[in-house]
Structure 1
Amino acid sequence: MADATESLRRRNAAAVLRTLRYDGPASRAELALRTGLAKATVGTIAGGLEEAGVLRELEQVRSGERGRPGQRLTLADGRPVGVGFEVNVEYVSAVVLDLAGTPRWQVTRPVARVAAVAASLGALVDEVAARLAAEQLHPVGAAVALPGLVDGDDRTAVWTPNLDLTGTGVADAVDRAFGWDTRTRVVNDADCAALAELRLGAGRGAGDLLYLTGTVGIGAGIVSDGRLLRGARGFAGEVGHLPIGEAGAPCGCGRTGCWEASVGLHALLAAVGMDESGTPRETAAEVARRAADSEQVRAGVVRIGELLGRGLGIVSGVLDPERIVLGGYFVPLGDLVLAPAAAELDAAVALGGRGRPDLRLGELGTEAAATGAAERALDDVFTGTLDLLS
């Protein structure tokens, strides 16, 4: 009986936290209306969350001509935070989000060699753990986004074609740094970025969303009816290795003709005759600058955009997304890549331009996947799995 009561209390607290996160500040009376909970229940929950430093009061509001004005509550800019990391071929990132979804801080570090990725992530994790302790921020969980397939346990990397990071080593390393036992999750990077753009970026308001990463690899995060679509084994979205690229193009996975071999970062650099210069976004920004003066560079980017749009047409024919968000290196290229991609997409979908999904550039930058990982780390709070009242 005690367990059932405790579970109900956590669920009720989570309902209050969710509506404050997604619907904004409210008085206790308004929270009762939003959640369907009794006013007394809301009052008890709110009092406990205020005492825990999770909620704070705003200015008073009067709901009518009579009676005392109600005190509006909002999520505190405070101690409970979610920590997200991304590990990729070219860089590692970290983002710390508070319960309101506000970044407390974020950082991206380039990685010079693929062999150094694991060590670079380890150093960043240690730095984040030390900084959180120094600033007295309380991490409720952490998640790591990586480019590959992750098992249903949300800890085991099954296949990382561009990195040697299979197994539970990444999750175990983060757990050790924070003094946890099997709390850290590992999540596909495109899924994380899709979640971040859906809640905080270019995907807001879209129920059915396709997010496409743009780094050395190409992956997709799929949102259906507002929820991430992971598939039977959590492997949905591995579009980069669909055989829809140029025939014969060699891929890092050992095969040829994969889509990412034609539209990934290395394909872009080959098309424009340039070398990498920093992170994928920094490299793409340099490509965009040179394209302003070079017809050859512009033509190379247009070719990538055409191959991108052609593949999006195939994927859209299966998923029928309301909106497509392009992330990663595609963002600094802007209309250079967006316009040819949209034209090819128009030609590919069954109804032409009338049936084309809304095609947009991502808003969250290089840290999109790490931001989504931090969001994922906070999910246990908003579902009532984790108790902030204890």
Structure 2
Amino acid sequence: MGEAPSLYDGSSERRAPADQATVRRTNLGLVLRHLRDHGPRSRARIAQETGLNKATVSSLVAELADRRLVTTGEVDRAGSVGRPGLTVHLDGGCVCGIGVELNVDYAAVLVLDLRGEVLFEKRLALDLPALGAERTLDAVAVLVSDAVAAAAATGARPAGLTVAVAGLVRSVDGVVTLAPNIGWHDVAVLDGLHARLGTDFPIRVENDANLSAIAEWAMGSEARTPDLVYLTGEVGVGGGVIVAGRLLRGAGGLSGEVGHTSLGDPDLVCGCGRRGCWETVVGMAALLRAAADPGDPVGDPARDLEARLSEVAARAEDGDARTLAALHQVGASLGTGAAVLINLFNPRVVILGGYFAVLGRFLMDPLMAELEVRVLGPGVAGARVVLSTLGFSAAVRGGAHVALESVFDDPTLVPVPSLEPAGAGAP
């Protein structure tokens, strides 16, 4: 198993020498992660598998239980030596992570508890380019408030919020420097949401493809694959790349803008203002342009995205020649670009997300035909191409997962109930 990808890998931050409190926080996180990644275990098994001594594990488990992060359950008889002990389970119903995604024609929110179970999920059909940044952030603030209230009803308080945006994001200060498909330039999302929400939990802003790749690594059908490429399928196209279990961010944190590589039609103008970008021939706008006339309901951004794609799939299944031709062309063009990524990164798996996953059964044959011709290594260099099982929730799941990482890094962020200030509770 690889190490979990971090949004801040490669940081040059100087770390202070570890004192006793730091070592204990680290060990609390070690036990909590071990339960998340391997499932319920007795204290003895945790000690054996982590290398910590039994007395230390017992003390750590007791503190995690005080913080309502673990509970004990049935007797663990698997691999036990001597008297079997009670299993320790990840609990975490008292804390949650919130993920939000902003895309061209929708905004979505999802809340996960510490076990990765969904507490709340909602998606709104919104025309973000028409709304503009300020009204979009107003709508997002309402979505987040609904999510916080739903979590509070279950007894969970947010550990953090991560916002996914389809565009170039400066994560250090939460500014979307350029999101051409929604018309944003230098939008201070972090400051805007802090001002609207007035919350005390951390807020981060990140590229949607990066968060989707993290979600696939953490909880998708190819979870823990150390080398993978994730491709978004939206109006725009982005890529998240994980190499040796680490998210590839690039020198300035702006890697993954594969939709703007020069693999498209030079006669077509991209939303970024340039010609010939890959997303002009594989993005959802390209598919709908080829498959339907202007004014067709499948192109209406006010309609739910999945309902529109279901209509496209129904037309293809009915044998509509125009729809099938459009899907074949997108699949072939998708294969052209995917071949470049396979030749560059040699991943074990390429995961197709977003609308690529929804319509993947129509795209896969022409895509694989292109890969067979264009990938240098035999058998497409050992790469598999799979459809995401997370659908359009990948980015929000990745965002919620990242928000919860702070708890796994330092479980003492979750207070012991008896030590909470009077009147404290879920916001």
Asked if these proteins are the same fold (TM beyond 0.5), I'd say yes
> Are 2:59 and 1:44 aligned?
yes
> Are 2:349 and 1:334 aligned?
no
> Are 2:309 and 1:284 aligned?
yes
Number of the residue aligned with 2:5: none
> Are 2:93 and 1:78 aligned?
yes
Would the aligned equivalents of 2:68 and 2:92 in 1 still touch at CA under 8 Å?
A: no
Q: Choose the corresponding residue for 1:191, options 210, 229, 249.
A: 210
Number of the residue aligned with 2:275: 256
Would the aligned equivalents of 1:143 and 1:374 in 2 still touch at CA under 8 Å?
A: yes
1-side partners of 2:54 and 2:185: how far apart? 49
Equivalent runs, 1:223-302 vs 2, <5 Å: 223-273=242-292, 274=296, 275-277=298-300, 278-293=303-318, 294-302=320-328
Number of the residue aligned with 2:342: 316
1-side partners of 2:56 and 2:197: how far apart? 34
Identity of aligned residues (%): 37
Would the aligned equivalents of 1:215 and 1:280 in 2 still touch at CA under 8 Å?
A: no
Structure-2 change in CA distance of 1:182 and 1:30 (3 Å): closer
Query: Structure 2: which 5+ runs fail to align?
Result: 1-15, 417-427
CA apart distance, 1:259: 0.6
Structure-2 change in CA distance of 1:112 and 1:354 (3 Å): closer
Q: Choose the corresponding residue for 2:222, options 190, 193, 203.
A: 203
Equivalent runs, 1:376-387 vs 2, <5 Å: 376-384=402-410, 387=413
Structure-2 change in CA distance of 1:261 and 1:5 (3 Å): same
The letter for the 2-side match of 1:283 is: R
Q: Choose the corresponding residue for 1:156, options 157, 175, 187.
A: 175
CA apart distance, 1:43: 0.9
Would the aligned equivalents of 1:84 and 1:143 in 2 still touch at CA under 8 Å?
A: yes
The letter for the 2-side match of 1:160 is: A
Aligned length: 390
Number of the residue aligned with 2:423: none
Number of the residue aligned with 1:30: 45
The letter for the 1-side match of 2:204 is: R
Query: Structure 1: which 5+ runs fail to align?
Result: none
> Per-residue CA shift, 1:151-186, capped at 9, x if unaligned?
251622222112244546322344356544582000
> Are 2:165 and 1:146 aligned?
yes
Q: Choose the corresponding residue for 1:221, options 224, 240, 247.
A: 240
Would the aligned equivalents of 1:207 and 1:225 in 2 still touch at CA under 8 Å?
A: yes
The letter for the 1-side match of 2:364 is: L
Number of the residue aligned with 2:394: 368
The letter for the 2-side match of 1:316 is: I
1-side partners of 2:116 and 2:250: how far apart? 27
CA apart distance, 1:9: 1.3
CA apart distance, 1:342: 1.3
Structure-2 change in CA distance of 1:66 and 1:381 (3 Å): closer
Number of the residue aligned with 2:74: 59
CA apart distance, 1:98: 1.3
